[in-house]
């Protein structure tokens, strides 16, 4: 039993958590939901006493009889990994790259003197088998494993000593939807088997509605609503819960206006990567994109879904004329797309990327950032400033924002700037590469609205690339499902989602956690 | 792992061939006739011709290159024009001073830099950290010949713990090590300062990584997390610097060798240049290039040992 009472936290005087109280029963899954910066992770780190320097904490946090906040650092070291295990969001970086996975799992046992070296390795093997890695050797290194497998290793290390509480901080956010479903199943089984409590931290309402017995909704360091999952998500008493819920399944108003003229014509495209080195020769080339054909029409919104590594990004790079293709043809407005294509042709197709933090030069003012694509034009337009102001206004920002720097904006605003930058050359096609994936649900809903609005005003065509099925369903007319370099299914979005023809599409849809209107749960039953 | 080694070995051989070609061409071809150059302005034509004969400059370029390379491969580096002894013997004598000196200095600098870098990184932002950073800054800034003279003044002249210079040979190993101690310290100080700074920043980088947080969540104390997880990951940049430093120490000790009157490689090449003894210059340069390439090879192997990601590529 975990009891947190009136927990408040400030870091260097800045209040982070206010009066957080919650209780997690034995064998219970407790979902903690909220947007980034709401204090979810800080609550977990407070339980672990792994807070950053300058943290001041008041209140109580008990793990059964143990008062966690009064423990010495040495006592906490004995508790961490032993009574409380924790796994994190980024399985790619959460493991030490230079230590074998067996050693990393065994370390939990060794550090707590729970076993001899040989015994620890035996138990580690056993735990790795339990998390579904029986086919993976103990001497393998993290870089040889996939993201899902690495998260399983992290779980094995966290549960090696059968902790009473497991904290999972966004454990599946970085994973593909099918992998996410498997990891969530594993966590559920482990809770039932081990009788441990699980504190599941996530921004994804669908995940908690699927998993949790109890849920607490956090906003700005406070829990605004909590209770049994069905009740909280069903009744949605607090306005913030309602807002989150609405934003999660937000459907922007879109006008149907796809014309018949193909702006972008992709025909039987083949993109090869050199095969693996074998001595002085190379193996067969990897077919990253293999015989892909589709057309994008004027005013149409086309979705491209698939899991990481399926060739989405490779195809995107080819369409943007960044990489050469080895077969087939890509035509933009009737002209061939190649790395040597003319700049004014490039101006007609612009792209918005996922990361609103990494894609701007931090030392440039917004005016210069947004005006950058003008270099694609033979001569920059004389009304450059007006054009920038107009682009900023069209994405809901002010002309006065021109003199600011990127760090002065939030993630959502930065994504607006990225869209303004893409719009500045008045392109006819926007490629949106996971453009809303890094955003919180409410911000995501606003950006989706903005995109829908821009499309109807400017008659834009969208190629919307995402792994997020909800988003694809909300914003596209047609969808392409990509697997291992090939398009396995293509059709009207609603048809594909309600009556998927290909088995892979069905797997994807079944794996995606879904928020039902009543708030009660279930993975999609469209099998 | 075997393929990685083989790859590195092939690249080592190719580098050696390329380096030997460059050295050969630069010295034999570009400045005109080597024999005339060696004898200076007042040489008679007969003397030049005799020297050409002695140096084996009669053949075509490829023949001469082959003679030089195959000679080196069998241990025949030619005969020094000024010393009138085989260059191989000269180099071997000097190597017995320079190699132990470089190794000694490197061992000292590593022994100092590792703990110092570790302490600075784990007490980042504290007075200790600032003190260490200031100290290393000073260590880099102080010219090592000046520091060497200071050492001589204090430990040789005043305290008389060490002799002020010279090298007694390896007949008495203790005496030899004692003679190399002050020069090694003088060489090690700036190297240790640089290495400690690299160590500190590499460690700080790894300390911010997610796997350190994972380790802490498993119950490792801060100290255990540093020792067991951060240190090995911080090793790659540190190994790179150590490799560069060893190469530098082997040949770059000219000034320190002069301060302490040590008969090392640095002084040999310096004398070779001033006396226009191209046979010596050519051979010593090739030897140093060989040493640098060999060290790079060893560092590559050390990378693979430190980081499994490099092994199976």
pLDDT tens profile A109-121 = 999 988 899 999 9
> Looking at the structure, do residues B66 and B111 belong to the same domain, yes or no?
no
The reply to whether residue B211 touches residue A95, judged by beta carbons under 8 angstroms, is yes
Query: Does a structural domain hold residue B140?
Result: yes
Helices (H), A238-331: 239-248, 312-319
The reply to whether residue B309 touches residue A97, judged by beta carbons under 8 angstroms, is yes
Enumerate the residues of chain A whose CB falls inside 8 A of the CB of residue B210.
Answer: 88, 90, 93-94
Enumerate the residues of chain B whose CB falls inside 8 A of the CB of residue A80.
Answer: 216-219
Query: Does a structural domain hold residue B274?
Result: yes
Enumerate the residues of chain A whose CB falls inside 8 A of the CB of residue B129.
Answer: none
Is A281's Cβ below 8 Å from some Cβ in B?
Answer: no
Which of A82, A94, A144 lies at the smallest CB-CB distance from B210?
Answer: A94
The pLDDT of residue A522: 40
Which residues share a beta bridge with A63? A2, A66
Find all residues with CB under 8 Å of B90, minimum gap 6, and list them. Answer: B80, B83, B268, B280
The reply to whether residue A96 touches residue B219, judged by beta carbons under 8 angstroms, is no
> Looking at the structure, do residues B181 and B58 belong to the same domain, yes or no?
no
pLDDT band of residue A191 (cuts 50, 70, 90) is very high
Is A109's Cβ below 8 Å from some Cβ in B?
Answer: no
Find all residues with CB under 8 Å of A207, minimum gap 6, and list them. Answer: A31, A172, A180, A184, A200, A513
Query: Does a structural domain hold residue B9?
Result: no
Q: What percent of chain B has pLDDT over 70?
A: 93
> Looking at the structure, do residues B98 and B50 belong to the same domain, yes or no?
no
Enumerate the residues of chain B whose CB falls inside 8 A of the CB of residue A154.
Answer: 214
> What is the rounded CA–CA span in Å between residue A523 and residue A178?
11
> Looking at the structure, do residues B217 and B268 belong to the same domain, yes or no?
yes
* Helix/strand/coil for A375: helix
Minimum mean pLDDT among A8-17, B60-69, B246-255: which range? Answer: B246-255
Quick one: closest CA in B to A145, which residue? B309
The pLDDT of residue B33: 67
> What is the rounded CA–CA span in Å between residue B291 and residue B249?
11
Q: Supply the DSSP string of B148-203, one letter for each residue.
A: HHHHIIIIIIIS-SS-SS----TTSHHHHHHHHHHHHHHHHHHHHHHHHHHHHHHH
A9 close to A55: Cβ distance less than 8 angstroms: yes
The pLDDT of residue B195: 93
| Residue A451: φ, ψ to 5° | -65, -40
Q: What percent of chain A has pLDDT over 70?
A: 96
Is B40's Cβ below 8 Å from some Cβ in A?
Answer: no
A372: DSSP letter: G
Enumerate the residues of chain B whose CB falls inside 8 A of the CB of residue A77.
Answer: 219-221
For the stretch B221-228, contacts whose Cβ atoms lie closer than 8 Å and that sit 24 or more positions apart, written own/partner, are: B221/A73, B221/A74, B221/A77, B222/B122, B223/B122, B224/A111, B226/B118, B226/B121, B226/B122, B228/A107
Q: Given B15, B47, B76, which residue is the final one in a domain?
A: B76
Enumerate the residues of chain A whose CB falls inside 8 A of the CB of residue B216.
Answer: 50, 80
A338: DSSP letter: -
Find all residues with CB under 8 Å of B265, minimum gap 6, and list them. Answer: B91, B94, B95, B97, B98, B250, B251, B253, B284, B287, B288
The two structure tokens encoding residue A289: 């994109």
> Looking at the structure, do residues B166 and B193 belong to the same domain, yes or no?
yes
The pLDDT of residue A520: 40
| CB-CB neighbours of B273 under 10 Å | 13
> What is the rounded CA–CA span in Å between residue B250 and residue B177?
17
| Residue A256: φ, ψ to 5° | -80, 120
Which of B214, B220, B309 lies at the smallest CB-CB distance from A111?
Answer: B220
What length is written for chain B? 313
Enumerate the residues of chain A whose CB falls inside 8 A of the CB of residue B211.
Answer: 93-97
The reply to whether residue B233 touches residue A90, judged by beta carbons under 8 angstroms, is no
Query: Does a structural domain hold residue B86?
Result: no
> Looking at the structure, do residues B117 and B152 belong to the same domain, yes or no?
yes
Is A164's Cβ below 8 Å from some Cβ in B?
Answer: no
Is B205's Cβ below 8 Å from some Cβ in A?
Answer: no
A195 close to A26: Cβ distance less than 8 angstroms: yes
Enumerate the residues of chain B whose CB falls inside 8 A of the CB of residue A152.
Answer: none
The reply to whether residue A81 touches residue B217, judged by beta carbons under 8 angstroms, is yes
The yes-or-no verdict on residue A32 having pLDDT over 70 is: yes
> Looking at the structure, do residues B271 and B136 belong to the same domain, yes or no?
yes
Query: Residues A233, A238, A244, A247: is their CA dihedral positive or negative?
Result: positive
* Helix/strand/coil for B113: helix
> What is the rounded CA–CA span in Å between residue B196 and residue B237?
12
> What is the rounded CA–CA span in Å between residue A90 and residue A174?
6
Q: Given B43, B76, B109, which residue is the final one in a domain?
A: B76
Average confidence (pLDDT) over B165-173: 82
List b or e across B207-237, with b for residues whose CB sees 16 or more CB atoms inside 10 angstroms: bebbbbbbbbbbbbbeebbbebbbbbbbbbe
Find all residues with CB under 8 Å of A137, minimum gap 6, and list them. Answer: A102
The pLDDT of residue A198: 94
List of E strands, A376-435: 429-433
The reply to whether residue B218 touches residue A81, judged by beta carbons under 8 angstroms, is yes
Q: What percent of chain A has pLDDT over 90?
A: 25
Enumerate the residues of chain A whose CB falls inside 8 A of the CB of residue B228.
Answer: 107
The pLDDT of residue A526: 36
The pLDDT of residue B56: 67
The yes-or-no verdict on residue A505 having pLDDT over 50 is: yes
* Helix/strand/coil for A524: coil
The reply to whether residue B308 touches residue A154, judged by beta carbons under 8 angstroms, is no
The yes-or-no verdict on residue B259 having pLDDT over 60 is: yes
Quick one: closest CA in B to A150, which residue? B211
Q: How many CA atoms lie within 13 A of B179 on its CB side?
A: 22
The yes-or-no verdict on residue A320 having pLDDT over 60 is: yes
Minimum mean pLDDT among A268-282, A370-384, A421-435, A463-477: which range? Answer: A268-282
> What is the rounded CA–CA span in Å between residue A498 and residue A489?
13
Shortest CA gap A77–chain B (Å): 5
A304 close to A467: Cβ distance less than 8 angstroms: no
The pLDDT of residue A519: 41
Query: Does a structural domain hold residue B158?
Result: yes
Among A3, A41, A413, which residue's Cα sits nearest to residue A221?
Answer: A41
pLDDT band of residue A124 (cuts 50, 70, 90) is very high
| Partner A, chain B 250-279, Cβ-Cβ below 8 Å | none
CB pairs under 8 A between A and B: 79
Mutation target to probe the B interface, by most B beta carbons within 10 A, among A45, A48, A111 is A111
> Looking at the structure, do residues B61 and B210 belong to the same domain, yes or no?
no
- Asked if ipTM goes beyond 0.90, one says no
Q: Supply the DSSP string of B25-71, one letter for each residue.
A: HHHHTTTS-HHHHHH-TT--HHHHHHHHHHHT--S-HHHHHHHHHHH
Is B223's Cβ below 8 Å from some Cβ in A?
Answer: no
Among A377, A380, A402, which residue's Cα sits nearest to residue A389?
Answer: A402
Is B126's Cβ below 8 Å from some Cβ in A?
Answer: no
The model's pTM:
0.79
Is A235's Cβ below 8 Å from some Cβ in B?
Answer: no
> What is the rounded CA–CA span in Å between residue A80 and residue A481?
43
Quick one: closest CA in A to B213, which residue? A94
Find all residues with CB under 8 Å of B161, minimum gap 6, and list them. Answer: B155
Average confidence (pLDDT) over A64-70: 88
Find all residues with CB under 8 Å of A483, minimum gap 6, and list them. Answer: A306, A307, A310, A504
Minimum mean pLDDT among A393-397, A419-423, B165-169: which range? Answer: B165-169
The reply to whether residue A96 touches residue B211, judged by beta carbons under 8 angstroms, is yes
The four Cα atoms A264, A266, A272, A273 give a dihedral, to 10 degrees, of 30
Is B302's Cβ below 8 Å from some Cβ in A?
Answer: no
The pLDDT of residue A31: 92
The reply to whether residue A108 touches residue B218, judged by beta carbons under 8 angstroms, is yes
* Helix/strand/coil for A383: coil
Shortest CA gap A422–chain B (Å): 34
The reply to whether residue A80 touches residue B219, judged by beta carbons under 8 angstroms, is yes
> Looking at the structure, do residues B252 and B106 belong to the same domain, yes or no?
yes
Find the CATH number of the domain harbouring B213.
1.10.3720.10
Query: Does a structural domain hold residue B23?
Result: no
The reply to whether residue B217 touches residue A111, judged by beta carbons under 8 angstroms, is no
Enumerate the residues of chain A whose CB falls inside 8 A of the CB of residue B233.
Answer: 96-98
The two structure tokens encoding residue B280: 């010596």
> Looking at the structure, do residues B127 and B174 belong to the same domain, yes or no?
yes
Number of H helices, E strands in chain B: 15, 0
Range of the domain at B238: 94-312
pLDDT band of residue A312 (cuts 50, 70, 90) is confident
| CB-CB neighbours of B153 under 10 Å | 12
> Looking at the structure, do residues B148 and B242 belong to the same domain, yes or no?
yes
pLDDT band of residue A101 (cuts 50, 70, 90) is very high
Mutation target to probe the A interface, by most A beta carbons within 10 A, among B7, B214, B224, B232 is B214
Which of B211, B218, B308 lies at the smallest CB-CB distance from A111?
Answer: B218
The pLDDT of residue B313: 47
Average confidence (pLDDT) over A453-461: 87
CA-derived radius of gyration, chain A: 25
Convert the pLDDT of each residue in B171-203 to its tens digit. Answer: 888 888 888 888 899 999 999 999 999 999 999
> What is the rounded CA–CA span in Å between residue A519 and residue A266?
41
* Helix/strand/coil for A31: strand
The reply to whether residue A95 touches residue B308, judged by beta carbons under 8 angstroms, is no
The yes-or-no verdict on residue A85 having pLDDT over 50 is: yes
Which residues share a beta bridge with A292? A269
Average confidence (pLDDT) over B100-108: 91
The reply to whether residue B214 touches residue A95, judged by beta carbons under 8 angstroms, is yes
Enumerate the residues of chain A whose CB falls inside 8 A of the CB of residue B220.
Answer: 77, 81, 107, 111
Quick one: closest CA in A to B218, which residue? A81
- The helix, strand and coil proportions of chain B, stated in percent and rounded to the nearest 5, come to 80, 0, 20
Is B207's Cβ below 8 Å from some Cβ in A?
Answer: no
pLDDT band of residue B29 (cuts 50, 70, 90) is low
| Residue B125: φ, ψ to 5° | 80, 0
Is B210's Cβ below 8 Å from some Cβ in A?
Answer: yes
> Looking at the structure, do residues B69 and B185 belong to the same domain, yes or no?
no
The reply to whether residue A88 touches residue B213, judged by beta carbons under 8 angstroms, is yes
Enumerate the residues of chain A whose CB falls inside 8 A of the CB of residue B215.
Answer: 96, 107
Which of B217, B233, B306 lies at the smallest CB-CB distance from A96?
Answer: B233
Query: Does a structural domain hold residue B6?
Result: no
**Total domains present in chain B:** 2
Is A272's Cβ below 8 Å from some Cβ in B?
Answer: no
A447 close to A439: Cβ distance less than 8 angstroms: yes
Average confidence (pLDDT) over A424-449: 86
Enumerate the residues of chain A whose CB falls inside 8 A of the CB of residue B2.
Answer: none
Convert the pLDDT of each residue in B8-20 to its tens digit. Answer: 888 888 998 998 8
The yes-or-no verdict on residue A479 having pLDDT over 90 is: yes
pLDDT band of residue A478 (cuts 50, 70, 90) is very high
Convert the pLDDT of each residue in A200-234 to its tens digit. Answer: 999 888 888 888 999 999 998 899 999 998 888 88
The two structure tokens encoding residue A186: 């594993």
Average confidence (pLDDT) over B86-98: 86
The reply to whether residue B219 touches residue A141, judged by beta carbons under 8 angstroms, is no
Query: Does a structural domain hold residue B180?
Result: yes
Quick one: closest CA in A to B207, which residue? A96
The chain-wide mean pLDDT, for chain A, equals 86
The pLDDT of residue A55: 87
The yes-or-no verdict on residue B45 having pLDDT over 80 is: no
| CA A102 remoteness from chain centre | 28
Which residues share a beta bridge with A22? A4
């Amino acid at each position: 039993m975990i009891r947190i009472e009136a927990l408040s936290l400030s870091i260097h005087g800045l209040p982070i958590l206010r009066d957080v109280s919650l209780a997690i029963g034995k064998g219970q899954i407790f979902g903690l939901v909220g947007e980034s910066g709401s204090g979810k992770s800080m609550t977990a780190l407070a339980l672990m006493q792994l807070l950053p320097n300058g943290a001041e904490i008041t209140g109580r946090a008990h793990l059964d009889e143990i008062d966690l906040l009064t423990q010495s650092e040495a006592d906490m070291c004995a508790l961490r990994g032993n009574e409380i295990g924790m796994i994190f969001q980024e399985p790619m970086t959460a493991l030490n790259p230079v230590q074998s996975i067996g050693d990393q799992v065994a370390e939990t046992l060794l550090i707590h003197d729970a076993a001899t070296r040989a015994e620890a390795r035996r138990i580690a093997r056993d735990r790795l088998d339990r998390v579904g890695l029986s086919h993976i050797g103990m001497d393998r290194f993290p870089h040889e494993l996939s993201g899902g497998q690495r998260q399983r290793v992290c779980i094995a290390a966290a549960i090696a000593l059968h902790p009473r509480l497991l904290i999972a901080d966004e454990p599946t956010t970085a994973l593909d939807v099918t992998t996410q479903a498997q990891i969530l199943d594993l966590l559920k089984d482990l809770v039932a088997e081990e009788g441990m409590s699980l504190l599941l931290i996530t921004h994804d309402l669908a995940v908690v509605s699927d998993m949790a017995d109890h849920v607490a909704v956090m906003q700005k360091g406070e829990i605004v609503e909590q209770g049994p999952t069905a009740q909280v998500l069903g009744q949605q008493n607090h306005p913030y819960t309602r807002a989150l819920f609405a934003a999660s399944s937000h459907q922007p108003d879109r006008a149907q206006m796809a014309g018949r003229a193909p702006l972008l014509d992709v025909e039987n495209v083949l993109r090869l990567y050199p095969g693996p080195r074998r001595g002085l020769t190379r193996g067969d080339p990897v077919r990253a994109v293999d015989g892909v054909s589709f057309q994008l029409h004027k005013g149409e919104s086309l979705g491209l879904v698939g899991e990481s590594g399926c060739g989405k990004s490779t195809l995107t790079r080819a369409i943007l004329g960044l990489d050469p293709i080895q077969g087939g043809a890509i035509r933009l407005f009737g002209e061939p797309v190649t790395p040597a294509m003319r700049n004014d042709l490039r101006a007609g197709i612009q792209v918005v990327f996922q990361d609103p933090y990494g894609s701007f030069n931090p030392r440039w003012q917004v005016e210069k950032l947004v005006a950058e694509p003008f270099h694609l034009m033979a001569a920059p337009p004389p009304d450059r400033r007006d054009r920038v102001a107009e682009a900023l206004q069209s994405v809901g920002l002010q002309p006065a924002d021109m003199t600011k720097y990127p760090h002065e904006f939030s993630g959502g605003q930065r994504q607006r700037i990225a869209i303004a930058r893409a719009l500045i050359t008045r392109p006819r096609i926007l490629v949106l590469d996971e453009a809303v994936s890094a955003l919180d649900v409410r911000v995501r809903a606003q950006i989706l609205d903005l995109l829908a609005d821009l499309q109807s005003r400017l008659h834009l065509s969208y190629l919307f690339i995402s792994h997020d099925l909800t988003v694809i369903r909300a914003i596209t007319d047609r969808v392409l499902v990509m697997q291992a370099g090939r398009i396995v299914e293509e059709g009207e979005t609603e048809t594909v989602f309600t009556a998927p023809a290909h088995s892979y599409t069905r797997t994807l849809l079944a794996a995606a956690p879904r928020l039902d209107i009543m708030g009660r749960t279930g993975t999609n039953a469209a099998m | 792992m075997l393929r990685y080694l083989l790859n590195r070995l092939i690249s080592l051989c190719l580098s050696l061939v390329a380096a030997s070609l460059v050295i050969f061409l630069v010295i034999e071809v570009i400045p005109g006739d080597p024999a005339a150059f060696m004898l200076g302005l007042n040489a008679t034509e007969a003397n030049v011709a005799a020297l050409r004969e002695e140096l084996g400059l009669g053949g075509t370029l490829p023949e001469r290159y082959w003679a030089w390379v195959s000679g080196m491969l069998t241990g025949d580096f030619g005969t020094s024009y000024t010393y009138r002894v085989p260059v191989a013997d000269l180099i071997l004598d000097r190597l017995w001073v320079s190699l132990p000196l470089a190794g000694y200095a490197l061992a000292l600098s590593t022994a100092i830099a590792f703990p110092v870098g570790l302490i600075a990184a784990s007490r980042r932002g504290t007075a200790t950290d600032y003190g260490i950073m200031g100290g290393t800054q000073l260590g880099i800034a102080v010219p090592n010949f000046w520091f060497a003279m200071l050492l001589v003044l204090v430990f040789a002249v005043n305290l008389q713990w060490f002799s002020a210079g010279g090298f007694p040979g390896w007949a008495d190993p203790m005496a030899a090590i004692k003679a190399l101690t002050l020069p090694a310290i003088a060489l090690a100080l700036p190297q240790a300062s640089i290495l400690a700074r690299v160590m500190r920043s590499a460690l700080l980088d790894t300390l911010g990584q997610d796997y350190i947080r994972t380790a802490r969540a498993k119950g490792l104390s801060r100290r255990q997390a540093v020792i067991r997880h951060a240190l090995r990951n911080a090793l790659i940049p540190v190994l790179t610097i150590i490799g560069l430093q060893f190469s530098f120490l082997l040949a770059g000790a000219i000034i320190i060798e002069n301060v302490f009157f040590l008969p090392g490689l640095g002084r040999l090449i310096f004398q070779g240049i001033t006396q226009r003894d191209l046979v010596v210059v050519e051979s010593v340069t090739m030897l140093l290039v060989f040493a640098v390439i060999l060290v790079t090879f060893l560092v590559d192997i050390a990378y693979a040992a430190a980081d499994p990601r490099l092994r199976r590529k």
